[in-house]
Structure 1
Amino acid sequence: MTLHQALHHAPAERPRLHIGAFSYDSRGLEGRGSGASHPQQWGDEQVWGSKQRALFDTSHSPAQLLVRDVRGRDEGSYRCKVHFKGSPSWSQRITLSVKDPPGYPRIQDESGQRLEGPIGPYEDGTTVRMMCLSSGEPPPGLVWGGSGAGRGGAVQSDGSMSRTRLSIVASRDTAYTTITCSTTNSSSIAPLHTVSTILRVNLPPLEVKLQAPGAWVSAGQQSVFRCRVTGSSPEPVVQWWLGGRQLIPSTPSGFEGVNVSVSEVRLTLEPGDHGVPLVCKAFSPALPGTVLHDQLSLAVHFLPVATSTVEGGGMQAEVREGGSITFVCTVKANPDVYNITWYHNGRPLRARERGVRMVDSKLRLLNVTADMRGLYTCVGSNQEGDGQSNALNLNVKCKYSS
């Protein structure tokens, strides 16, 4: 079968062609010589199948859209639109009728439009009425079947034509169900020929579930979060938000099953992200007013961030010989630190050393002597590792100096 489309403009204009769910694009091939790549052809697999029954053939004049293995679902109005680089676009409509051989069933709606393959989408609660008819001598029998047969009527015969009607309510229960109509004869109950259609229904999501890679994640390491959306038709729009800032999903939404979509986002979180809400929102593009969401409060583990100060505030560490001074180690960490170690000039201090007292996060030096001068730091330790503070330089003044 061929659909003719004349291309009267010069080949150098490199046209782009769109016919329904098919496109042909030759842009960017000018001046590349004989070694240039071929124009890009694309066909929707839902319409033309994985083996691509459609092909745009430019070896003829006029060029032709070739469709192999014509089926009833190919019937309809085709709009061919050609875009030129230096000329106005050109379009034309062509209506294709597919005749059924005797004894072959046809499913159609009340207006006579053929219903094969995916049909709709319909709104939830809509009653879809369809008819199956076939001709032959003698008139063939007709049988409804499939996973969503609905309420089928009796078969009526008029001359050589047989017909039967069916009503089905579009709902979540009937979405994506297959409806078949088969012809039979009096000598056998086995179907002779069968056609089928699939009911599509606009539906909002039933559930949105955000899944973290674990109970917590480590700061500075990339982590993958997944959002699982169930029950949306058509495929949902998924949005990610981190503390009020919208994120870009790391990968296009994939599928885990019928009406189950999964979106992923990869994040490298920082300590400041601990406790910040991560939100996943989803809605059907046909029903944007019905939005579901799920969220979690991020649990981010990070190295201790330690700061050492002189008790009472400040960074100036100065004391007379024989006096005392107290240092404080302030630590921010998740999880909490299990140990704080004080260092003097890089040497770890022990609580039983002369003049050294350690209580919780504080270091108290008593009866300070000249050999206690130098740099003091603290290190907080948790499951993520060790975090070292700034250094305080202790200046010990002579006992009898003014």
Structure 2
Amino acid sequence: MACFHNKVVNALLVIGGFASVASATTDSTTVVWAVAGQQANLPCRPAAKLPGDQPVLVLWYRTSQTLPIYSYDARNGDFSSGVRWTDNRTFGGRAYFDAKVTPPALTLNPAHALDEGQYMCRIDYRTSSSTNSLVNLNIIISPGPATIFWKGRETEQGTVGPLQEDERASLTCRSVGGKPSPTVIWNFGKDAIAPTDTKFNFDPVTGTYTVESTITVTAERGMVGHRLTCSAHTSIGGQSRDASNKPVVRSRSASVSLDITLPPLNVQILGSESLVVTAGSEIKMSCRAYGSHPPAKITWWKDDVLLEPFVTYRVGPDGNATAMLRMNVSAEDDRGRLTCQARNPYLSQEPLYDVTQLIVYYPPKVTLSLGPHLQADDIKEGDDVYFECDIRANPSFNRVEWFHNVS
């Protein structure tokens, strides 16, 4: 390889008649953008000055060096079947010149950050004088992972909080290691959020940037169940006229949800305003609390008695809690007041409640007794005796019959 390299250099000196890359006259300049770790294509378009002339030798230089770093030699055959040589100290095995594409191009796969710089492509022809073109290769380093911080600490499990309603929170999104300097965008759903502060820091050792973007948000009920997202991306819009030269740079994103403590908005016993049942039967009633976060704690009461042993509790996909009451009723429960209470156990607000009346149907219950001023052991023949008949029934009775000595 060393011998071939010397032949190429000698050919350059004899054919081209110049010894300095810096002094060469260039015919065109192309700007190329590539992402580190992906493929870079450096075009080198033949432009023979005489009709029908053919290229025979392609030499690639870094403009900061005087010797070629890559060559494509087709002097002994067709241009599509030339001999390739590369300087292993520069590209190793990553470089390949493709003479069959239009325009021919030197491909670097993968491109490295240190490949960035200005390159010159020299093309020699069988008859025409040589042409030189410059390629400014810009290497993009993808942004590092986006990380969200709250109160100076990285957020855990994608959650910020707990927060009180209307509490303000400052969130910072950090991305380390991009070049050019990444742009950080905050979104709530489809809505963009303007940052309150943005900081950039350049690391001269790695040649990359760290960017921090801070927003301040107010915890509102409408934010529950939605996520705040920050995205770090590298924008090269407008820096290359050729859209094909604009590589796709993957955005790095992170998102968090706000854990906002909210009281319930409403509590409702599902069903009619009053419940009519028959003594001895089982009732099933549900009470639902809406809008609490975390889900509300629901309790059932009969008058002033807690009915906790008879209640089952569940939370729906919408975050609303439901408590089902199952209990057997008796005549003593008639006209009782069933109350459902809901409250957020993490807040000090008074609970919300809904009330329904329990109406129990049962057959008449009769209690017969002597008049209040009579004593059974002091009644003599001929005395007036009267009785009291106490009747409890629902629905109310409509007829009373008296019997004597009837079993």
Query: Normalization by structure 2: what TM-score?
Result: 0.50
Structure whose CA Rg is larger: 2
- What residue is the counterpart of 2:329 in the other structure? 269
Query: What CA distance in whole angstroms lies between the structure 2 residues aligned with 1:227 and 1:140?
Result: 52
SS at structure 2 position matched to 1:166: strand
User: Amino acid of the residue matched to residue 263 of structure 1?
Assistant: A
- What residue is the counterpart of 1:230 in the other structure? 290
CA RMSD of aligned residues (A): 3.7
- What residue is the counterpart of 2:186 in the other structure? 144
The structure showing larger relative contact order (alpha-carbon pairs under 8 Å, at least 6 residues apart) is 2
User: Amino acid of the residue matched to residue 251 of structure 2?
Assistant: L
Preserved contact between residue 312 and residue 325 of structure 2 (Cα < 8 Å): no
Query: What CA distance in whole angstroms lies between the structure 2 residues aligned with 1:111 and 1:252?
Result: 42
SS at structure 1 position matched to 2:405: strand
- What residue is the counterpart of 2:362 in the other structure? 302
Unmatched segments (≥5 aa) in structure 2: 1-141, 203-208, 236-245, 377-385
Deviation at 1:121, TM superposition (A): 1.0
How many percent identity over aligned positions? 24
Query: What CA distance in whole angstroms lies between the structure 1 residues aligned with 2:154 and 2:256?
Result: 13
C-alpha spacing 1:259/1:312, structure 2 compared with 1 (3 Å): same
1:140-289 → structure 2 map (5 Å cutoff): 140-147=182-189, 151-153=193-195, 156-159=199-202, 160-186=209-235, 187=246, 192-212=251-271, 215-289=275-349
1:43-62 → structure 2 map (5 Å cutoff): none
SS at structure 2 position matched to 1:298: strand
C-alpha spacing 1:252/1:311, structure 2 compared with 1 (3 Å): closer
- Deviation per CA, 1:45-75: give whole Å up to 9, x if none: xxxxxxxxxxxxxxxxxxxxxxxxxxxxxxx
Preserved contact between residue 107 and residue 116 of structure 1 (Cα < 8 Å): no
SS at structure 1 position matched to 2:222: coil
Query: What CA distance in whole angstroms lies between the structure 2 residues aligned with 1:141 and 1:173?
Result: 28
Matched positions, count: 240
SS at structure 2 position matched to 1:173: helix
Q: Of Structure 1 and Structure 2, which has the larger fraction of its residues in helix?
A: 2
Deviation at 1:230, TM superposition (A): 1.1
Query: Normalization by structure 1: what TM-score?
Result: 0.51
- What residue is the counterpart of 1:29 in the other structure? none
Query: What CA distance in whole angstroms lies between the structure 2 residues aligned with 1:193 and 1:157?
Result: 17
Query: What CA distance in whole angstroms lies between the structure 2 residues aligned with 1:227 and 1:148?
Result: 35
C-alpha spacing 1:253/1:229, structure 2 compared with 1 (3 Å): same
Query: What CA distance in whole angstroms lies between the structure 1 residues aligned with 2:401 and 2:213?
Result: 89
Query: What CA distance in whole angstroms lies between the structure 1 residues aligned with 2:216 and 2:254?
Result: 17
- Deviation per CA, 1:204-246: give whole Å up to 9, x if none: 1111212358741221111112121112222222222212111
C-alpha spacing 1:311/1:111, structure 2 compared with 1 (3 Å): closer
Preserved contact between residue 274 and residue 298 of structure 1 (Cα < 8 Å): yes
Deviation at 1:250, TM superposition (A): 3.6
Deviation at 1:109, TM superposition (A): 2.0
Choose which of 117, 129, 132 in structure 1 pairs with 2:158: 117
- Deviation per CA, 1:140-199: give whole Å up to 9, x if none: 322222339674317553321122221111122223331111222325899623211110
Preserved contact between residue 182 and residue 191 of structure 1 (Cα < 8 Å): no
Preserved contact between residue 143 and residue 234 of structure 2 (Cα < 8 Å): no
C-alpha spacing 1:304/1:211, structure 2 compared with 1 (3 Å): farther
- What residue is the counterpart of 2:24 in the other structure? none
The answer on 1:361 being equivalent to 2:400 is yes
